[in-house]
Chains A and B, each alone.
Chain A
Amino acid sequence: MSRLAPVLVIAGFLFLLVAPGLRAQNSWPTSDSYTSAADNNSAWILPARTYSGNRYVPAAKIGAADAAKLKKAWSASVDARGPLEVSPIVWQGTMYVTSSHNDVYALDAKTGAVKWHFADKPHVIAFSANRGVALGDGKVYEATLDGHLIALDATTGKVVWNVLAAHDPRNTFFTMQPVPYGSMLLLGASNGDWGGIGYLSAFDAATGKRLWDWKTIPGPGEPGHNTWSGDSWKRGGAAIWSGIAIDPSSSTLYADLGNPQPDFLGTIRQGSNLYSDSMVALDISGGAPKMKWYHQFIAHDTHDWDPAMPPVLFTGTIGGTPRHLVAAGDKGGNFWVLDAATGSLVYHLAVSTQRGQNTQPSRTGDIACPNTNGGVEFNGGSYLPQTNAFYVPSVNQCGIWTSPGTAAYIAGQFYLGGAFPKQYGPSTGYVNAVDIGTGKFLWRKHLAFPQIGGALSLSSGVVFTGGVNGDFTAYDAKTGAVLWHYQTGLTIQGPPSYYELDGKPYVVVGAGPAGVNFADPRFGQGAPTLEGTYSHPVRAVITAFTTP
């Protein structure tokens, strides 16, 4: 008896500690939830699940045999004013998704029933897109097409605060999913084709107050400033607008910086144009970030071949030795592997057809490949430790590029020094599996349609990705064999997420209209075509799949 008493006391004490958490209807992710997100299969709380940027699920409950039997669990229709690029966030049975025009939905992750809906009507500068929300402390955070950062009450969807977060809302908007880190929200500005200078900002998650900005182009007196001729740096671009990765153990933030501007006219911005088309590693342990290293992928780009893929941090095995690596992919069709500590190149390989890499768009037009929406796109790919392979979809297109030799800045319009290329030849795609040990393909599938849906890899050896023709497919990670596929009837431009609820595994993906960038005359009946009449697709759907 006397030996049991202390145990009871301890048990009672533990109950007191735990009980408030059990009783609360809503608790929210904390800093710890984010840093330990890898271990929580019931949630998906960061854009790519963890700060590493790698859409990989350990101890996943969908094996190859299960994948073949996947069934639609539910689907939910959302606002269809543009393509769905959302990366769904899941926390305690609720899923948070956005539409292209910044509508936000809280869905029951088990049934798809709408818990609340925040409707928005933002001013659209160029094209509509949104990649999702951040969740924390009872709030859902969204960055909008009109340059605002909005905090909604996570239980009601009502606006808590709304701040203008863009410095110049004439040429700047947001598509990126905000990333919570400590008490901050990290957000990059989309202004890289509209005559701005890119920047990454940190906001106080409680109030929306700006904490710091990190500019992507060195100003006068800063190292690298001399890589821009004359005043060209002032509208130099290099936006951060797809996603970031963070290594919390070293407080290092990895970001890929976009193309230089004007996109297609290099003569007025001679030099290598730092830090455009580069990956940077930033020390964010203090206030404003300090650069640790940079690696420029394409110096003096004149084709808008920016590294659209968000960085993926992973430990891969090369020559039998585990190495801390960071992967990147660009619209020029390159897949890059760098040393995460130093930024030095390990290797790169072409994942799309390349041609005319050293040409400049001319008045009469030059053919170069990939096209502006080609190569590796904004959803990137995923590393699977079980196969030591990296899975990254790509787009195979060529374009005819022209530049009149002049560039005019018009506020709120593209600042290109030319026009976006006309597509030339066929439009296809690849799903690539890169053997990290060798830097060669483990396998690759050449598909009839562009592939931009990112990749979700499961420890069970299953890889999911979606194509713009609407196919959502599960591949055998080792062989590339198709285990299962589902035709959404819409285009897939967003990445899949994974979660478990009441013991069951779910995979979820959004599909919607083709939008500006991936319209394709082959979509057939009901799909858009430039050659004749058509009915505009008006549906956007979030679909969740589960095992029987």
Chain B
Amino acid sequence: MRTIAAFAAFALMLACMARAGPARDDHGSAIAAIADVQAAVAEIVRIENGDEIGRDAYVRAAHRALNALVGRDGENYARAFGDPGDGIGTLGHVDRMLDQNATLRWTPAVEGAKANVLAAAEDLQDAIGERELEDYQIDLTRALANLALVVGRPSTDGVLGGLSGALANTDLGVPSGARRASACKVPARTPAYGVRAGRLVYVALPRTIAAAQVPVGLDIRSIVVSASNVVLYTGSASAVARSCATADPPPALYTREQARAGAAVYARYCLQCHGTDLQGTAGPAVAGTEFLKTAKFDGWSLRDVRTTVFENMPFSNPGSLTPRQYAEATAFLLASSCYPAGSKPFPQSDEASLAAIKLGPITAAKPTNAKNGTCAVK
């Protein structure tokens, strides 16, 4: 009975410990992981520079570098030689980052870094066992090459981008507790980190900020200075710019006259299958919430929609309308989806630039039909 009670108490204690574990700080872990790599590299560089010579010195350096990588809980950690790192080790930090259910934008990069740490640890283990100086140096060179990949370079967020690639271009670069904001719009209050779909798009800082407070390792591609802010855009900015284009303000893609004329074209040639409310009967929805949701899900550009309308419609007699009628019908559909009218008409001929305009839900839309998310064309 006492044994069971003791066991229960122990289990409860374990459960409490698990729950009360340290809060996640992936950004901090990544920085610390890099610091441990740097500590290991320093050991290797020191011995390669010939600061010390003799077999004992070589073995000691390899052990110390290995300790910095694997940490005190890691395999082949040898306490006797000392640890130039923080004791958790690059592997300890990386494992902590990967120990979560979600697969994040930076997960592949960190998994790649882990594979390279393990390879470097193996190289160092080999070095410890070598009998010839030449073999020892070959092992160290390999370890250095692998560690260079662990750190990576800040221009990508893929596997080869390593930890610094992830820090520079994904939301791993956002320090714990820092303010995150929409990647599409710099907020009035800064500092703020612009994030979208796991990508770090910009760091916005007040103009008064000291240069020392600029985050280290950011992959800065362009700098925009406004009256109050300095905005540092990363390599992810171009990848996100397109998806931001569907946010506010939506582009003006047609003229009001076109959309009005398009209403008659629609009534005559399209309504039969797509319905008076444009929500589809025999055919699919062609405007409003349902349509824009589909457009986003399927990744449609305005050119994709143009191709479908001009070349495949009307279904029973494709290509039978004039280019002018097709442009008017498309204008009517855009207007019905609450895109604003402008001064430039929707083109009657194909334009490659239409491929850059992605369709999707419009945040600032004020639909006249709230249920369908459509706007009346007047």
What residues make up the interface of A, taking CB atoms closer than 8 Å to B? 81-83, 100, 123-128, 170, 402, 404, 408, 410-414, 416, 419-420, 422-423, 513-517, 519, 528, 530, 532-534, 536
Contact = CB atoms under 8 A, between A and B. Distances in A.
Interface in B167-220: none
Given A411-B298, A412-B294, A412-B298, A83 B282 contact: yes
A449 B293 CA distance: 39
A528 B284 CA distance: 18
Contact of B311 (A419, A514, A517): A419
Contacts of A408: 307
B28 interface: no
Nearest to B313: A419
A211 B179 CA distance: 47
Contacts of B298: 170, 410-413
Given A124-B285, A402-B319, 12 more contacts: A100-B282, A123-B285, A126-B284, A410-B300, A412-B294, A412-B300, A416-B312, A420-B318, A515-B273, A516-B273, A519-B272, A536-B276
B282 A515 contact: yes
B349 interface: no
B314 interface: yes
B297 A170 contact: yes
B304 interface: yes
Nearest to A81: B281
A515 to B, nearest CB: 4
Given A82-B282, A125-B284, A422-B318, A413 B304 contact: yes
A513 B307 CA distance: 28
B290 to A, nearest CB: 7
A135 to B, nearest CB: 27
B314 to A, nearest CB: 7
B316 A516 contact: yes
28 contacts: A81-B280, A81-B281, A123-B290, A126-B284, A127-B273, A128-B280, A128-B281, A128-B283, A170-B298, A402-B319, A411-B299, A412-B298, A414-B312, A419-B318, A419-B319, A420-B318, A422-B318, A422-B319, A423-B317, A513-B281, A514-B282, A516-B315, A516-B316, A519-B272, A530-B268, A530-B269, A530-B316, A533-B267
Contact of B294 (A100, A123, A423, A513): A123
A516 B317 contact: no
Contact of A530 (B281, B300, B317): B317
Contacts of B283: 124, 126-128, 516
Interface of B: 267-269, 271-273, 276, 280-285, 290, 293-294, 297-300, 304, 307-308, 311-312, 314-320
Contact of A519 (B280, B316, B318): B316
Contacts of A125: 284
Nearest to A515: B282
A127 B293 CA distance: 17
A144 B172 CA distance: 41
Question: 9 closest A-B pairs (Cβ-Cβ)?
Answer: A419-B318, A412-B298, A515-B282, A124-B284, A411-B298, A82-B282, A410-B304, A516-B282, A528-B272
Nearest to B281: A81
A39 B318 CA distance: 48
